[in-house]
Chains A and B, each alone.
Chain A
Amino acid sequence: MTSTGSDIFIRCLREEGVDLIFGHPGGAVLFLYDAIHRHGFRHVLARHEQGAVHMADGYARASGRPGVALVTSGPALTNAITGIATAYSDSIPMVVFSGQVPLPAIGSDAFQEADNVGLTRPITKHNYLVKDVADLAPIVKEAFYIATTGRPGPVLVDIPKDVSNMPCEFDYPREVHLDHYQPRYEGHWGQIKKALSMLLRAERPLLYFGGGAILSGASAELRALVETLRIPTTYTLMGIGGIPGDHELSLGMLGMHGSYRANLATDECDVLLAVGARFDDRVTGKLDEFSPHSKKIHIDIDPTSIRKTVHVDIPIVGDVRNCLQKFLKVLEEKDLSRFHERMGPWKQQLEEWNRQEPIAYQQHPDEPIKPQFVIDKLFQATHGDAVVTTDVGQHQMWAAQYYHCQSPNNWVSSGGLGTMGFGLPSAVGAQCARPGEPVICIAGDGSLMMTIQELTTAVEENLPIKVALINNQYLGMVRQWQEIIYDDRKSAVDLSVAPDFVKLAEAFGALGLQASRVDEVDSVIEKAFAHPGPVLMDFRVSKTENCYPMVPAGSPSRKMLLRDPD
Chain B
Amino acid sequence: MQHTISVWVRNEFGVLSRVVGMFSGRGYNIDSLSVAPTLDEEVSHMTLVTHGDDDTIEQITKQLHKLIDVITVKDHRDGEFVGRELALLTVEPPPEARAEVFRIAEIFRGKIVDVGQKSLTIEVTGKQDKIDAMTRLLEPLGLQSRVRTGPLAVARGSAR
- A residues contacting B by CB (< 8 A) are 117-118, 121-122, 125-126, 129, 131, 146, 178-181, 302-304, 307-308
Contacts and interface: CB of A to CB of B under 8 A. Distances in A.
B45 to A, nearest CB: 14
B17 A118 contact: yes
Task: Please give me the 5 A-B residue pairs with the lowest Cβ-Cβ distance, nearest first.
Answer: A180-B71, A126-B68, A304-B62, A122-B25, A303-B62
A121 to B, nearest CB: 5
A103 B72 CA distance: 32
Nearest to B12: A128
A303 B65 contact: yes
Contact of A307 (B58, B63, B66): B58
B102 to A, nearest CB: 47
A307 B54 CA distance: 11
Contacts of B55: 307
Contacts of B18: 121
B57 to A, nearest CB: 12
B143 to A, nearest CB: 38
Q: Which interface residue of A121, A180, A307 has the most chain B CB atoms within 10 A?
A: A180
A199 B66 CA distance: 30
Contact of B21 (A121, A179, A308): A121
Contact of B14 (A121, A303, A304): A121
Given A121-B18, A304-B63, A307-B58, A181 B13 contact: no
B59 interface: yes
23 contacts: A117-B14, A118-B14, A118-B17, A121-B14, A121-B21, A122-B25, A125-B68, A126-B68, A129-B13, A131-B13, A146-B68, A179-B71, A180-B10, A180-B71, A180-B72, A303-B65, A304-B59, A304-B62, A304-B63, A304-B66, A307-B55, A307-B58, A307-B59
Interface residues of B, number: 18
A496 B14 CA distance: 48
Nearest to A155: B68
B27 to A, nearest CB: 12
A316 to B, nearest CB: 15
A121 B16 CA distance: 12
B70 interface: yes
Interface of B: 10, 13-14, 17-18, 21, 25, 55, 58-59, 62-63, 65-66, 68, 70-72
A181 B12 CA distance: 15
Nearest to A308: B59
Contacts of B66: 302-304
Nearest to A303: B62
Given A303-B65, A304-B62, A308-B59, A180 B17 contact: no
Contact of B68 (A122, A129, A181, A303): A181
A118 B13 CA distance: 11
A118 B59 CA distance: 23
Given A118-B17, A178-B68, 5 more contacts: A121-B21, A122-B25, A125-B68, A129-B13, A303-B65
A364 B27 CA distance: 51
Nearest to A121: B21
B69 to A, nearest CB: 8
A98 to B, nearest CB: 15
A305 to B, nearest CB: 9
Contacts of B25: 122
A179 B71 CA distance: 8
Nearest to B14: A117
Contacts of A307: 55, 58-59
A96 to B, nearest CB: 16
B17, B65, B66 pick with most chain A CB within 10 angstroms: B66
A121 B68 contact: no
Contacts of A178: 68
B109 to A, nearest CB: 39
Contacts of B58: 307
A152 to B, nearest CB: 13
A321 B83 CA distance: 44
Nearest to A183: B66
Contacts of B62: 303-304
A132 to B, nearest CB: 11
A149 to B, nearest CB: 11
Nearest to A181: B68
